[in-house]
Structure formats: structure tokens, C-alpha cells
Structure 1
Amino acid sequence: MISEWKKIEKKQFAPIYLIIGTEDYIINETKKRLVAGILDTEDTDFNYANFDLEETAIEQVVEEAETIPFFGDRRLIIASNPTFLTTEKTKSKIEHRTVRLEDYLNEPVDYSILVFIARVEKLDERKKLTKLIKKQATIIDAKRPNEAELRKWLQGVSNINEFQMDNAATDRLIELTGGQLTTAMNELDKLMLYKLEERAIYTSDVESLVVRSLEQNIFLLLDKMIALDISGALSIYYDLLKQKEEPIKILALIASQFRLLTQIKLLEKQGFSQQQVAQKLKVHPFRVKVGARQAKSFSYHELTMTLEKLAQMDFEMKTGYGDKAQKLEWFLFSLQDQRKIQRMN
């Protein structure tokens, strides 16, 4: 996909693009590069159209693509949500005359760039139209990268911008952004701006500048508890309270993470790999990697018992029994005692 971006920068455009995947960064970056490469500022209003195919029939999109440009050389037409290429159900009552699209795909005009954006993991390969568009279009894969791909991506962007960022800093950036490309790229942009003069990014920079999401703070809190660092866990918890996070919301996220650890533990016992677990549970592979590491510190019985405690706490919080903030403190201390007992055994 980076090779296709380079072609776009050189104004080597394909007549039809098909973007497949759910990674917002890749989708938005591709759109941005196409707009910048194809359109001049003064003719954007005349030669740019953006359609949602759940609201607009495909024949209108084709008609727009066949319209000759005004005051410019090319037109850019973007059409999102082509559900007629997927197995997804839609509530839209729009009927698409896809024969018009088939005709266009076989003979696209040379003055319009037509871009389809399918925010799905894959298309319905059984359909004749899917086979035709994949044959005629330039495909841009917008799937979420795995950890190795994300590491290569971040270090590649750093190198292109003439920055040095070692593996430790890259890994910490991935960890703190939950393996999410869009978030990681936003944070990398911020890091490069901050270190513009030095042009080197270290782990300490990542630690001090990258904003942790609430979910990432929960991961870190559990890591502290597993390491029997109760003061570290409480420090994170108190910081969350200072940020006006509700104890019941923090509890729900802790319970969600323990539920994930329990599922991972069970599936790993059944012989599933981490990649298979991620696919089966429909969660990001990086979450499974972190969860698998955390799950090693608990037996399956301990995890189920902890979930029962959390469910009881949730009930008590929702029924107004006791102080909510204090209940989570007690939970952290009880989990620390549980971990100490396990280590002694």
C-alpha cells in the first residue's frame, strides 16, 4: 500500500481503486493523498464527490464519474459502503442497478478516479461483480496490521522522516497505544514534533508524552497487581479517579479484562494459538498477546473466582451498597493477598 501511495504522489493514478479493511488511518491517509494529488484547491467543489452507497444508488455514482471535469483535468469520486460486494446485511432500501457499474468497470473513463471504500474484513468472493471489480481495480489493503507489521510500519515512518527510534521505544509505543495503527501514528507525529531538533525518540519520551487510554491504564493496573506492586496499582487507580473516571466504569473494564483472561486461558488449554484466539474472540491480536501474558499468573479457578467477586461488587455498586471507590481499593488489596498466597505455594 505504501507503494501505491508513492505512485499517487508521482501522479500515477489508477482509474479505479478499491480500499478493503477497517483501519481508519490507511483509509483516511489514502483519501487525503488522492485529494491532494488529483484536485487543485480552486476546483475541489466542482470535481470532487463523496457518496454513501447506503443512501445513493450506484448508477448515480457512475453518472458522476462519467461527467466531464469542470476547470480541471480530473474528477475524484469516492463511494463508501458498497454492501452489494459483501455478505453484510443492510437496512437501506436503495436498489442498485449494478449492471451500470459492470459496464463502467469494463470501460472506465480516463478523466475520473473512482474509489470504493469497503470497511469490512473481506468481500463476498462468490459474486460476479466482486470478481470483476477486484480484477479491474487497484486494491489497497486497509486491514489492521499485526504487531510485527505495525513495528515495521512505525520504524519505516520514523526513517522516512529521518528520525531514530530504537526497538524498545517502538515496542513501548505499540504497547501504550494498544496496537492500534491510527492511535500509534497520531502519537508518533506528536513525538516527532516534540523531538524535532534532536531527531531521536527514546523509551523515556514515549513514557512521558504518549497519552494512555483508559483501557491501557487498566492493563497497566493489572500488571502492577500481578507484580504485587499494590502502591503502583493504587497510584494508577487514584489517578483515574482524579480524571473523574467513575469507579463503576473502572470496575466494568477490570471485569472485561478478567473475562478476556478467562477466555484466553480456556482456549489455550484447548490448543488454540494466540492468532486463532484473537479471531475466535474477535479482539485485536495485541490484546490477546497482553492478555495471554497476564493469564499465565492465574489459574483458571482463580480467574473464575475473581470474576465472581467482581460480579458481586458490580451488584453492590449498582444497588448503592457501600462506598464505590473504597470497594475497588478493597478488591486491589484482596487480589494482592491472593497473589502472595499463590507465590508461597
Structure 2
Amino acid sequence: MIKEWKAIEQKKLAQVYLIIGIEDYVINQTKEKLLNAVLAEDEQEFNYANFDLEETPIETVLEEAETLPFFGDKRLVIASNPTFLTSEKTKSKIEHQTARLEQYLAQPADYSILCFVARVEKLDERKKLTKLLKKQAVVIEAKRPSESEFLKWIETKAQENGFTIEQAADKRLMELTSGNLTTAMNELDKLMLYQFESKKIALDDVEKLVVRSLEQNIFLLLDKLIARDTAGALRIYYDLLKQKEEPIKIVALVASQFRLMNQLKLLEKKGVSAQQAAGILKVHPFRAKMAAKQARGFGKEELDFALLKLAASDFELKTGFGEKTQKLEWFLFELEDFRKAKRA
């Protein structure tokens, strides 16, 4: 869990916070905890402001922070996307007078809580302003959890609510939500409501109540291909069509997974682990782990063939050529024929 949350919940508040990372659950929970700790519900309309720094200059944000609270004692100001703290290029034409922020950090308004949300994996530590802000602010890391950390998040939330969850159920919840912590936490709320009386969550509960994510269905479809079960892969595809999923989206996700498997296979030859590759390729560690496992079921030539055919299907879908629901069907048949020819 996030150690800084306890102080926020106890209303031991800092004047400036800096959230760094791409895990939406941690970001959204931190913002919610700050809002609940700083302002009563009837104070939020006048004393809460949320800015996007790709659309608003930092001076406007600081003016808001320096404005006295209205019908209350505190003001909460959240500023997202401070690209001036990173090395990333931005399309925004907004110019920020960062010297104003340096001045503010030297003497922040004691009646305001200013929170920066940087949805990046890391800031540019070479910049003077980055160093200053990290020194002055309470820094909260919103990094994506590892597999063990993910399972701990689920287990801890269950325990905090007086529930126990089977280890197998915990792992299955992670699989069905494709390692998406926000989705997993929402599904856990549903499971706790379902087992409110017994306070025990079992694997069977997860199987009955948790809906597979689209990404998880794509994993299963590829598992069928690895097992050379084209009919099984087609059944999953038809189920997705019944759920109103668009063929172009399904093809794009299948292509993305094949591309990832190809990249992981190349990195594996260089001695790079799936965990390390996740950082290099900027993908979720759980997805990298699953893709690395699936990649072992395909040869390099099969992956190259699949990517070539999927690129052609994607082009035809985008240009309106042919019946869109048939594109993935033809791909599955062509891949099956190619693999049979390889074995012959």
C-alpha cells in the first residue's frame, strides 16, 4: 500500500504533493483521499480546482492556489501533466513561467494544498525545478505493481474490509482483469457484496462473477492458436462479436499481442527477462509475462507470417475492403495452413 495515504487520512497534510507514475488506481485514490481530507462536501464547489497544464499555464494554477478559500479554511488545487518536469516533447503551445513556481515553492500558501500529477514513469532529474519540487513536496509513487504487489493489493483490501480471499481466487482475479488494478478493485467490491455474509471469497466466486476483459479474451484466443485449436479460437471470436466488439479493434489487439510476442522473443535471445522487457517496451509486467509464455508456442517464421497477414487485414479494415467480420477468420485459417505446411 501507499504509506503516504495514512498521513492524508489522518489529515496530516503537506502543502505540496507530487504524484509520479502511470498506475491510475493509485493516482485516482490519492486524489480522492486528498479531496476528502481537505474539504467537506459543501466546500468543494468553491475551493477545489483541477487543471490540465497542457491547456493552462502554471501561473493560472498558482493564482488559484494563492486565492483565499471561500466559505472554508482550505483550498485544494490539482495540476496534471507538468511536462516541464520531464524530457518528453509536447504538442501543447502553452508557455509556463516556471520561475513563478520556484517562487511559490519557497513560500507556499498555508491555506492551500497543491498537488501535481505527472503520469510518466520518471521525471527529468537533471532539471533544477524537478529537484526543487521533489525536495519541497511529498512524493507519491504511482508505479505499476509487480505480480506479487498486485496480489498483495487485492489481499490487503479484502482484509481491511473483514474478508478473506483464496490465493487461487486472488490470482484468477488478476488474470481475468489482465493485471488492471482499477478493474480488479472494482470487481473485488462486487465480490465482497456477493459474499457479504460469509466474508469469504473463493475461486468459484471469481469464475462466476468476474467478466473476462477483452484483453483476457485475446489471450485465450491465442492460447487456442498455440494448441492448434482454430475452431476454439473462432468460438471466442464469435463470442466477442456477440458482445458488440468491433472487428477492427479485435484485429488490432491480436496484432498488438503478436507484435509483443515477436519483440519478447528477440529480447529473450539477448538474455532479457520478461520483467526487464516490460520496462524496455513500456508494457504492463503481467502482459509481458503472459506474452512471453505464449511466444514459446510460435516459431519466428510463424510470428513474422502472422504480423504480415494482420497488417494486411488491418489495412483492408481501415479502407473498407471486403466483409469486416471475415478478416480475422481468414487470418486464422491462413495461419493454420502455414503452420501445417511448416510441419509437412
Report how far residue 259 of structure 1 moved: 2.2
Q: Deviations over 1:76-104 (max 9, x none)?
A: 11122222211122333333332222222
Residue 20, structure 1, aligned to residue 17, structure 2: no
**Structure 1 residues 339 and 154, CA, compared in 2 at 3 Å: closer, same or farther?**
farther
What's the counterpart of residue 10 of structure 2? 10
Give the whole-Å Cα distance in 1 for the aligned partners of 2:339 and 2:167: 32
**Distance in 2 between the 1:256 and 1:118 partners?**
26
Opposite residue 149 of structure 1, the aligned amino acid is E
Question: 1:31 corresponds to which residue?
Answer: 31
1:178 aligns with 2:178: yes
Q: In the alignment, residue 168 of structure 2 is paired with which amino acid?
A: A
What does 1:173-322 correspond to in 2, within 5 Å? Answer: 173-311=173-311, 320=321
> Residues 136 and 302 of structure 1: is their aligned pair in 2 closer, same or farther, counting only changes over 3 Å?
same
SS at match of 2:44: helix
Amino acid at match of 1:206: V
CA 34–333 in structure 1, closer or farther in 2 if over 3 Å, else same: same
Q: 1:187 to 1:97 in 2, by over 3 A?
A: same
CA gap 1:338/1:195 in 2 versus in 1, 3 angstroms: farther
Corresponding residue for 1:151?
A: 151
Write the letter of the residue equivalent to 1:111: Y
Aligned amino acid, residue 97 of structure 1: Q
Cα contact 1:61–1:79 (8 A) shared by 2: yes
**CA offset at residue 212 of structure 1?**
2.0
How much has 1:326 moved relative to structure 2?
5.4
CA 309–67 in structure 1, closer or farther in 2 if over 3 Å, else same: closer
Helix, strand or coil: the match of 1:265?
helix
Residue 68 of structure 1 is matched in structure 2 by 68
Q: Percent identity?
A: 66
Residue 89 of structure 1 corresponds to which residue in structure 2? 89
Could you say what secondary structure the match of 2:13 adopts? coil
1: distance between equivalents of 2:252 and 2:324? 12
Provide the rounded CA distance (Å) in 1 between the counterparts of 2:274 and 2:341: 29
The one-letter code matched in structure 1 to 2:157 is V
CA distance in 1, matches of 2:313, 2:61: 54
Does the aligned pair in 1 maintain the 2:302–2:339 contact within 8 Å? no
Partner of 2:128: 128
TM-score (norm 1): 0.89
Q: How far did residue 314 of structure 1 move?
A: 5.4
Q: Give the unaligned 5+ runs of structure 1.
A: none
Matched, 1:107 2:74: no
CA shift digits 1:17-50 (9 cap, x unpaired): 1111122211111111111111112222222222
Q: 1:312 to 1:142 in 2, by over 3 A?
A: closer
Indicate conservation of the 8 Å contact 1:8/1:34, yes or no.
Answer: yes
1:60-81 alpha-carbon deviations (Å, 9 max, x no partner): 3223222332222211111222
Q: CA RMSD in A?
A: 2.6
> For the structure 1 residues 4 and 223, does the alpha-carbon distance in structure 2 shift closer, same or farther, using more than 3 Å as the test?
same
Whether contact under 8 Å (2:59, 2:97) holds in the other structure is yes
SS at match of 1:223: helix
Task: Give, in whole Å, the separation in 2 of the partners of 1:247 and 1:93.
Answer: 36
Give TM-score, length-normalised by structure 2. 0.89
